[in-house]
Amino acid sequence: MKYYLIAGEASGDLHGSKLIKEIKKIDSKAEFRCWGGDLIKKESGNELVKHYKTYSFMGFLEVLLNIITVAKNYFFCRKDILKYNPDAIIYIDFPGFNLPIAGWAKKNNFINHFYISPQIWAWKEKRIKKIRKFIDKMYVILPFEKDYYEKRGVEVDYVGHPLLDEITKSGSYNFKKDKIIALLPGSRDQEIDKILPKMLSVVKYFKEFKFVICAAPSQEKSKFDKYLKKINSEKIEIVFDQTYSILKKSSAALVASGTATLEAALLNVPQVVCYKSSWISYRIGKYLIKNLKFISLVNLILNKEAVKELIQNDLNEKNLVKNVRLILEKKGQDKIHNSYKELRNKLGNFGASKKTANLIVNYFENS
């Protein structure tokens, strides 16, 4: 069968590539055309339409400033789908782009599968109407999402979190830690520009530690060099595409809000979660998200503040230093590790990519 897959950033690229790999095991005649990153490009046989760094924008203001590019990509995607004529379209998160495409695709009689739900339970819950109308099957990775969707009339399967499989390959959760503090500033340009300078402000306070910037493979070294020039960078290393290897050795981590917070937790690394966007984007988001107590996946799943979140103006040098010191102390580490154990128990299931691949392929056999 022919599959058209759309992912929007680094984590989607990872999960999309694993899904493609599993589909190929089941469907020997599978063909792919994809939007994503380097991992999807490699797994799909170089069938990449566009790289996510050319179409993925974070924040309301950033999307508005790039609205012409967004519109061009949207219309190009529609034409490309018609030309390719896939048996199924697979959307991986990225709802701002994927849901409009799904609406158009449904009107044109394409089959829509959505893997990794947008967090509509946190904000923009009105999207449930579009999902119920446009998506033929939803595959969710957080345990509470299945019940959420079933109550709202959406065809849904809970497949477990795909990160569990990636982390499990690393073996034990109790890795030997070195004098390393990992910095994970995100994969988008806007994230790095807002968050990395704040992270780097703590370097001078922890002279006994080496700092390692875990950079996404889509980024260029020059993106980070311009910030390192402003400080003493002898203790700072930039490493590309080795995030898990670095985290396994790290005593602590500063992590941009997103999937990386869950990765750090599953690798048992005490962390401080960092988030900062443009003032306009933050104010709009704060207005829209009224019932959400936390922004990190770790705290959301546990429904408590297991890890400290420093958001917008709270993301400053003083708060970062204070909280890094806390998570480097044994008392703080023990508390976080106990929460991480609870998190792993809640996530439970393994084999998300394999389960989702089977459900997608079998969908056509059973319909």
**Which tens digits make up the pLDDT trace of 96-132?**
899 999 999 999 999 999 999 988 886 678 899 999 9
Domain ranges of the chain: 2-162+351-366, 167-347
CATH class of segment(s) 2-162+351-366: alpha beta
* Residue 62 pLDDT exceeds 90: no
* pLDDT at site 218: 72
* pLDDT at site 279: 57
pLDDT, tens digit (0-9, with 9 covering 90-100), for 26-53: 999 999 999 999 999 999 987 799 999 8
Same-fold call for 2-162+351-366 versus 167-347: yes
pLDDT, tens digit (0-9, with 9 covering 90-100), for 285-304: 555 555 668 889 899 889 89
Please classify residue 223 by burial: count the beta carbons closer than 10 Å to its beta carbon, then call 0-12 exposed, 13-18 middle and 19+ buried. middle
Q: Pick one of 3.30.420.40, 3.30.460.80, 3.40.309.10, 3.40.50.2000 as the CATH number of 167-347.
A: 3.40.50.2000
% of the chain beyond a pLDDT of 70? 90
39 compared with 220, residue with greater pLDDT? 39
User: Residue 248: which pLDDT band, with cuts at 50, 70 and 90?
Assistant: very high
* Residue 284 pLDDT exceeds 60: no
What secondary structure does DSSP assign to 272-300, as a single string? EEEE---HHHHHHHHHH--S---SSHHHH
Alpha-carbon span 8 to 89, nearest angstrom: 14
72 compared with 69, residue with greater pLDDT? 72
pLDDT, tens digit (0-9, with 9 covering 90-100), for 258-275: 889 999 999 999 999 999
Kindly state the tokens that stand for 272: 């401080």
* pLDDT at site 285: 58
* pLDDT at site 328: 97
> pTM of this prediction?
0.76
* Residue 332 pLDDT exceeds 90: yes
For the segment 145-172, the average pLDDT, to the nearest whole number, is 86
57 compared with 74, residue with greater pLDDT? 74
Q: Phi and psi (nearest 5°) for 360? A: -70, -50
Alpha-carbon span 56 to 48, nearest angstrom: 15
